[in-house]
Every structure is written in structure tokens, then in C-alpha cells.
Amino acid sequence: MDPVILQAENTLYQLSIYALMQGSNFFTSTLSIDNSNSPEGKSDEHPILLPSTITCVEFDVYLWFGVEYNNCPTQENLIDAILISRQWSIHNPYGYALDHFRRQFQESQIHPAVVLGVARQFGIPELIQPAVHALAKPQIPFSSWSTDTSILHHVTVIDIGVIGRMKEKLLHTHFALCSVPPVVHDAACRDKNHVVCLASWKDFWMSTMVPRLSNMDGKLDNLLWWIWTDCITNAHTPGMTNECMQWTINQVIAAPGWRTEMRIPEGALLALMVPACIMLDPMLERIPGPDLVS
């Protein structure tokens, strides 16, 4: 096929019709019209005018991914490509950009908050769960990104509010468990041994449990479920009777707080989940969505 001349804003492009039409419902419908007797698109003086909603920047992104395939895309290149692919129903560049976006996220090149915002905006639910779980980790403090304008540009007030509340609940859970649980005494434990039991249990809790519960470095051995397994079930409390120690431990491990580290992120995930957005019909308007944080 002969090349065609297109104009976006004040810039002219000479491109292959076949390359433009491949995988794009928008360009297929635009360029497949029989205009053999029309000068439109055949010279610089008579280019095919793209709608005014298409900027040169957007069209360049489409060419990078839809025609030439950019091998070293940046985060913003990928987000623009996802946006434009959705707008113009271009399947191949969309898949290419999404694969790169997912890989860069997995390699920690894209912040999980950005992934969350993009996934919610464009209806990509499979990226929401890993983004929320990544943001739940102590290694990513809420304060480290919640005022970063380069990240806030991609998230909504709802995103920030839900994640902020999740982080607050996780922190409160750890510190709430630092309080020394009461001792459950066996009936055979004499009154004079109560003091010994209480002192032994308190010493164990303050010296072994509290340092790990208050350590939010995100290491495996400081996660609640690991503390629950490693410390509680192997408690060493010299001076306590075996019955008092076992009854007390049984009461402690039954507390619901130990399981909240998994439940709290699931609650945030439920609040932030969006349905999958299938590829749209040809359109040139931005996908409607919640207002972004300015």
C-alpha cells in the first residue's frame, strides 16, 4: 500500500497505511474508506487531519508502540501507551505496553502506588492485588510516597485514603499486641506461685515478644504469623507451672489480632478493586474516571 500523509496538530507524518491499520479499529475505520479519487492523504498540502483531541505526543507514543515498538520504554511511555491503546482500540501495542509495565513493576522499577492508580484508572484488576500487597509491606512506609508529586499524579484521593488507613491499622495491630496478656492460672497454682508466674510471663513477653512486635522492618521473622509460630508456641518461661503456661499460651494464640496482617490488606483490596475494562470501541475521549490528585 502507498504511504499516507497524516497531520496531528501542526506536524505532518508520512506512514504506511498497513502499519497504521494493523491491530487498530480506529485507523482501520479511518483509512479503509475508498478515497482513491480524493487528494486527501496523498500530499503535504492535503493531509488527513487527525481529530484535534489527538496531540503530537500521543501520536508519537502510538508510533513507538504500534508501529516501531519502543524497546526501552519509560514509565510515562508505558502509561501513555496504555491510555492511547484504550482510546483507539489498538490491541497489540496495549499488550506490549502492559507486559512491559508488569515486568517493570515486578523488577521494582515502577512504584506500586503508581501501579495501583493506573490499574484502577484503566480497569486492570490483576495488577491491583500485587500493588496493594506491596504497599502493605513495612518496607514501603506511607510517608515515603504519599507526598511525592510524581506518584500523586497517578493516584486518586480514594487510593491514598484506603492505603493510608490500611497502613494505620497494620501499625496499630502490632503495637496493640505489645501489651502483656494476662496469665491464666491453673487451679492447682497456689497463691504464692501467682507472683512467680506473672513475673516469668511478663519477662518473657517484654524481652522476647515486644522487640519483635515493635520492629517494622518487614523481615520475615518479624511478621505476625511468624512471631506467633516461633515465639508463642515455643515460649520459655522458667518459674511458670506447665499448666499455667499452656493455658496462657492457648488464650494468647486464639486472639484474632495475629491474623489481621492478612485480613487488613484484603479489606483494602476489596475497597479498591475495579472490574476488568475490555478493549473499547474506537473512541478518542479519555476514559472517564475519578478525579486525580492535583
User: pLDDT (tens digit, 9 = 90+) per residue, 87-115?
Assistant: 777 777 788 889 999 999 999 999 999 99
Single pTM value for the model: 0.72
Residue 271 has pLDDT above 90, yes or no: yes
DSSP-derived 3-state class of residue 11: strand
DSSP-derived 3-state class of residue 14: strand
Supply the pLDDT for residue 168.
94
pLDDT band at 234 (very low <50, low <70, confident <90, very high): confident
pLDDT band at 229 (very low <50, low <70, confident <90, very high): confident
Supply the pLDDT for residue 31.
65
Supply the pLDDT for residue 222.
80
- Please give the average per-residue pLDDT across 50-62, as a whole number: 77
- Please give the average per-residue pLDDT across 247-261, as a whole number: 86
For 108-140, the pLDDT digits (tens) are 999 999 999 999 999 999 999 999 999 998 889
φ, ψ at 204 (rounded to 5°): -60, -45
Residues 66 and 49: their CA atoms lie apart, in Å, by 19
pLDDT band at 216 (very low <50, low <70, confident <90, very high): confident
Identify any residues that bridge with 292 across adjacent strands, giving them in sequence order. 156
Choose among 105, 158, 142, 109: nearest CA to 127. 105
Task: Share the mean pLDDT of the chain.
Answer: 82
Residue 147 has pLDDT above 90, yes or no: yes
The domain spans of the chain are 178-254
Residue 211 burial (CB count, 10 A): 11
For 193-209, the pLDDT digits (tens) are 788 888 999 999 998 88
3-state helix, strand, coil in the chain (%, to 5): 60, 5, 35
